[in-house]
Chain A
């Protein structure tokens, strides 16, 4: 069965430090991977998707099919990056449903 694992519930770093939020997935097919973010008192929103190969707010994520990982990285964390981050995958068969990980809370301290 498809599954998304985010091993860290909380990641605490200082401003300016590098950040890596881990995400591993299990899916036998070819998934699409996403990172969603939820800032305090805001709704859940898409941060980036792997097929776009984009950098959003300084964040990047590379799909590693060999390691079945899609880790989110930023070289220099900012206080405004503090939020809840969810990794998600979508199966490209049948109805397109998102499968979410348990989320990682990123706390960036000054």
Chain B
């Protein structure tokens, strides 16, 4: 079934740890995105990708990094987690086939850094 998967769904980790948030999609989409969302606030784009080997920083500065080695996989890495990284991270992908734009979102990863 075509979908977007994010793991883990919840992560509680100590300061200084390296973490990788996984995002995979079986939608066949070229474009993928990472958003950061604090409770009750808007979504902020932190990374996006046109396709394989293409990554760009988004509108909100983030200490995280991303990679896109395979079309379906777009992991986000924090080399050294800090409490300020506590947030919800949403992965999305998009398709413009047929001329109608739509972004599809994953279930999100809620990260808590102690």
B102 adjacent to A46 (CB under 8 Å)? yes
Q: Which of B10-18, B20-28, B37-45, B79-87 contacts A (4 or more CB under 8 A)?
A: B37-45
Q: Mark B92-114, 1 if CB is under 8 A from A, else 0.
A: 00101000111111111000000
B42 adjacent to A86 (CB under 8 Å)? yes
Q: Among A9, A43, A49, point to the contact of B108 (Cβ < 8 A).
A: A43
Question: B40: which A residues are within 8 A, CB to CB?
Answer: 9, 102-103, 105
Contact residues, A38-92 vs B (CB, 8 A): 43-46, 49, 51-52, 86, 90
Alpha-carbon separation in the docked complex, A98 to B35 (Å): 10
B106 adjacent to A96 (CB under 8 Å)? no
Question: B41: which A residues are within 8 A, CB to CB?
Answer: 102-103
B42 adjacent to A32 (CB under 8 Å)? no
A98 adjacent to B103 (CB under 8 Å)? yes
Q: What residues of chain B have their CB less than 8 Å away from a CB belonging to chain A?
A: 31, 33, 40-43, 45, 48, 50, 56, 58-59, 90, 94, 96, 100-108
28 A-B residue contacts at CB 8 Å? A9-B40, A32-B101, A43-B105, A43-B106, A44-B43, A45-B105, A49-B100, A49-B102, A51-B100, A52-B100, A86-B42, A86-B43, A95-B48, A95-B50, A95-B56, A96-B31, A96-B94, A97-B33, A97-B48, A97-B59, A99-B59, A100-B43, A101-B42, A102-B40, A103-B40, A103-B41, A103-B42, A105-B40
